[in-house]
A and B are shown apart, each in its own frame.
Chain A
Amino acid sequence: MKNKKLFYVLLVVLAVGLILVGCGSSEKASTSSNSSSSTSSSSDSSSSSNSSSSETTVVKIATQSPLSGPYSAMGEAIKLGAEMALADNAEKFKALGVELQLFPQDDQGDPKIGVSNAEGIVSDKQVLALVGHLNSGVARAAGPKYEAAKLPVVSPANTAVDLTTYGWATFHRIVAKDDVQGPAGAKFAFEDLGAKSVYVVHDKTAYGQGLAEAFQEGAKALGMNVLGFEGQEATQTDFTALVNKIVAMKPDAIYFGGMYNQAGLLVKQANERGFQGYFLSGDGSDNAELIKIAGVDNVKKTYITSVAGDASRTEEGKAWTQRYKEKFGKDSSTFSVYGYDATLVVLNALEKAINENGGKVPTREELNKYVSATKDLKGVFTTTTFDEKGDNINAEVFIYSFEEGTYPAKFIKTVSVK
C-alpha cells in the first residue's frame, strides 16, 4: 500500500517537474532566439528583428567525409578545403552579421554511419548546408535525409551517376559523373593509346564497379574488344590468379575501377608476370601511394582519368596550394581544392541570399534555391553552373600519366563534359 502511494507521489512530482521544464525551455528558447532566430523563417517576429542588426548569427556549414579508415586522406582533404574556404570568407560574412562555423563529421566511408551523422547534421538548426561525401554509397544512403530536411548539399567528389537521378532538389555536385569519366577513359585508351582490347577489373564496391561499368559501356560503344569484366573484393591483395588469366589473353590494356592501393598491387603483379600493355584507372587511383606500391619502374604505362584536376597547374591554383600548405602544414591533395570550391558555391549562395533577403539569414530551403541557381561561379580551380538535376555542366575530366613516376602525375589533357 505504502509503495503505491509513493508511486503516485512520484508521478505527481514528475508531472510538475515536466511542466516546469516545459516553461523553462520555452523561456530559454526565447532568449536563445538571438542566435538562431534568423535561421528559421517562421520566427521573424518583432522580438528578434530588433536585435539581429547588432549581433552576429552563427551559420554552420557541415562537412561529411571519411576522416578515418582507408579513405581518410581524401576525406580529410575535403574537410580542410572547406575549413580554409570558411576562414578566407570569415571577414566578409562578419560584415553581414554572420559568423561562419565548420561542422565536420566523419562518415568513415560507411553508409550506416553516414545516415546517423546526417540525422545529427539535420537536427542542428544552425547548419544551413553540407559540403560532402566522398563515397557515393554514403551519399546515396544519406541523400533522402538531407532531401527531407531540405538541406542543400554540394558534393566535391561524388561521381556515381544515379545520385542526380532521384529527383532530389538538394543534391548538387561540382565534379563530373562516372558516365562521363568512364567513357572519357575509354576514348583516351582507344584513340590516343590505340588500345583495341581491354580487360576490365573492379573492386566490387559501389564506386569501383559503377565506374568500371561506365568504362565498359564506353569501350563497347567505341568498338573495343572487352575481354573480361571481373571483380575482386576491396580487401584482396593477391591478384595473381586473375593476372595470369589476363596476361594469357594479351589485352592491349587493363582497366581497373577501384582505389589506389589495389591498383598499385595489380600494376605490380601484372608487370611481374610480363604484362606489356597499358594500365588505366579512375580517380580512386589518383594517389602518390600507387607509385610507391607498384614501384616506379612499373607505372610507365599507367594512365588515370580523374574528375579532380591538379590545382597547381594554374597560377591562381599555385598560389592557393602554397597558402594551403602554410595553413595546414601539409600538401594539398586530390580533393582539397574541390572541398574549397564546393564551399565557395555554398558561401556565394549564402551571400546572395542574405543580400537579397534584406540582411536576413535565409532558411535552408531558400538557400537551396540560391545554390541551385549557381551560374558561372569561378572558384580557385572550377567553374560551376548547375543544370536542373544538380550536375555541373562545366565539369571536366582530366587525364594523367604516371610515366614519370612522380606525383602529382603528368597532365595529358582535359575532356569536357559538354
Chain B
Amino acid sequence: MDKIKAQFLKASVQYTFVGLYLFIASLWLKLSQESILAFLMMLTSILVIYSANQLSSKVRIGIGIFVLFILLPFIAGDNRYYMEVSTQVGIYVAMALGLNIVVGFAGLLDLGYVAFFAAGAYSYGIFATAQANNFLDFYQFPLEGGWFWPFLVVGLLVAAVFGILLGLPVLKVKGDYLAIVTLGFGEIVRIIFNNLDKPVNITNGPQGLTPIAQPNLFGIVINTPFHYYFVVLFSIALIILINRRLEDSRLGRAWVAIREDELAAQAMGIPLVKTKLLAFATGASFAGIVGVIFAAKQTYIDPTSFTLMESIGILVMVVLGGSGSVPGVILGAAIVTILQVQLLKEFSFFLNDLRLAGIINLPSQLDPSKFQRFVFGILLVIMALYRPNGLIPAKRKKIDIEELKKLEMDAPTTGILMKLQNKKGGK
C-alpha cells in the first residue's frame, strides 16, 4: 500500500495518470453523447488535476485551462444540455466564490446573498426589455445587445450599493443575529421586487421580465449555452484572480483577523466598519455580475428565481467545499449544482422508468428529485458535525521560521533593518 502511495507521489506517474484520465474521459464523452456519467468524469478531471500535487502549480493551471477552455467545449460543445449544465455550474461557482468572501474570509454569515444576485439580474433585465419605458421616457428601450458588456459593470455597482445598503445598518449586529437580519433583508428584497409593479411599474411584479435582449460581441449574437459557457468561464477566471489577490492582501488579512476575533482585530487598529462593508460590497458585486449574465442567459427573470432556498443553496456550497478555501468552494458549488440539476433528476428518471416498466412500485413521494431540502439539511448537519472546515479546508499560509531566518541572513535591502545592517557592517 505504501509503495503504491509512494508511486503516486512521483511526478511522472501523476502526469501519466492525469493524461490517461483525460484521455478516457474525452473518449467516453465523445462516444456516448448522452451519458451523464461521462460528463461527470470530464468535470471531475479538474479535481484530479488539482490533486496531482507533484505537478508545479503552473502546469496544473495550464492543464486546467486547457480542459475547460478547449477540451470540454470541443467535445461536449454540440450538446446544448451539457453546455447548459456546465454554464449553470459556472454561475453557481461564481456566486459561491462571492459568498465565500463574506462568509469564508470575513466570517459574516449572510443568508440573504441572493438579493445581490437579484439586484444584478434586474438591473440588466429592466433596461434590456421594454420594461424601462414604463418609468423613463428619454430613450426607447430595450437597449440593444451590445449594452450587455457595460451592464456587467452596472450590475456590479448596483449590487455593491445593495451590499453597502445592507451592510450599513447591520454592522452593529453580530454573528447569528447578522444571519437572521440578512435573511430578512433577502426576503424583503424579493418581496419588494415581487410588488414593484405598482404604484409605478418597475419590475413588472410576479409576471417577470421577458424577452431580455441577447448580448452581442463584434456582431456575434450570444444566445446559446455554448456562448454563455465562455462568458461564465471568463468571469470565473476573473473572480478567482481577484479572490487570490485579495486573499493575500492587507484587506484579506484584515477580514481573516475580524473573522477570528473581532475585538482583537479592532484593537490592532483594523477599522471594523470599513473592512466589513468592503467585504459585503465585494461579495455582492460578484453576485451582481453573475446576475447580469444569468438574466441574459435566461431571457426571462421573475422573483421566484431569488428565493431563500437559493441563498441557502449557495451557503451549502460554501460550507460543503470549505469556507475560505477557493478550490473548496469551487468543488462545493460544482457538487451541489450537479446534485441538484443532474443527479437527483437522473435518478428519479431511472426510478420512473422502472416504475413505468412495472418493476418496482414506488409512490411518487419517494421521487429523489423532491429531496432537495432533505439532502441540503443532512449535508449541512453532517458537515457541521464532522468536517466543519469543508471538503478542501482553507490552508493557512504557513510562515516558515527557518525561511524567515534565512531571509534575515540575506541582507535586507530596504527599511530600517537595512540601515541597521549597514551600520553593523560599517563597524
Contact = CB atoms under 8 A, between A and B. Distances in A.
Interface in B335-394: 341, 345, 348-349, 352, 356, 364, 367, 369-370
B206 A204 contact: yes
A416 interface: no
* Interface bracket on B: 35 or more
Interface in A379-407: none
Contacts of B26: 14, 17-18, 21
Interface string B69-101: 001001100011111110010000000000000
Interface string B185-197: 0000001001100
Interface of B is mostly: helix
A110 B341 contact: no
Contacts of B79: 123
Contacts of A6: 11-12, 15
B19 interface: yes
B81 A137 contact: no
Contacts of B345: 106
Interface of A: 2-3, 6-7, 10, 13-14, 17-18, 20-22, 24-25, 28, 67-69, 72, 76, 83, 104, 106, 108, 110-113, 115-116, 119-120, 122-124, 137, 140-141, 144, 148, 162, 166, 204-206, 208-210, 231, 233
A119 B84 contact: yes
B345 to A, nearest CB: 7
B84 A206 contact: no
B247 interface: no
Contact of A206 (B80, B207, B349, B352): B207
Contact of B56 (A3, A115, A205, A209): A3
Contacts of A122: 80-81
Given A18-B75, A112-B298, 9 more contacts: A6-B15, A17-B23, A22-B30, A24-B31, A76-B364, A141-B302, A162-B207, A205-B304, A209-B206
Nearest to A231: B195
B84 A7 contact: no
Contacts of B223: 148
29 contacts: A3-B11, A6-B12, A6-B15, A7-B15, A14-B22, A17-B26, A18-B71, A18-B74, A21-B26, A21-B75, A68-B367, A68-B370, A83-B356, A104-B352, A111-B298, A111-B300, A115-B300, A120-B84, A122-B80, A123-B82, A123-B84, A124-B34, A137-B208, A137-B302, A144-B210, A144-B211, A144-B299, A204-B206, A206-B208
B300 A141 contact: yes
Tell me what chain A mostly uses at the interface: helix, strand, loop, or mixed: helix
B59 A115 contact: no
Contacts of B341: 113, 116
A364 B176 CA distance: 54
- List the 7 shortest-distance A-B pairs measured between CB atoms, nearest first: A119-B84, A141-B300, A123-B80, A68-B370, A123-B81, A120-B81, A21-B30
Instruction: Name, among A24, A115, A116, the residue most crowded by chain B CB atoms within 10 Å (CB to CB).
Output: A116
Nearest to B83: A119
B81 A119 contact: yes
A137 B83 CA distance: 23
B65 interface: no
B97 to A, nearest CB: 20
A59 B366 CA distance: 29
Contacts of A166: 210-211
Contacts of A140: 208, 210, 300
B56 A21 contact: no
Contacts of A25: 30-31
Nearest to B32: A28
Contacts of A231: 195
Contacts of A141: 208, 210, 298-300, 302
B27 interface: yes
Nearest to A166: B211
B369 A106 contact: yes
B249 interface: no
A110 B302 CA distance: 10
B170 to A, nearest CB: 24
Contacts of A208: 206
B49 to A, nearest CB: 11
A128 B310 CA distance: 33
Contact of B195 (A13, A112, A162, A204): A204
B367 A67 contact: yes
Contacts of A69: 370
B31 A72 contact: no
Most chain A CB within a 10 A radius of its CB, from B19, B75, B85, B367: B19
Nearest to A29: B33
B27 A233 contact: no
B15 A10 contact: yes
B225 interface: yes
Contacts of B207: 162, 206, 209-210
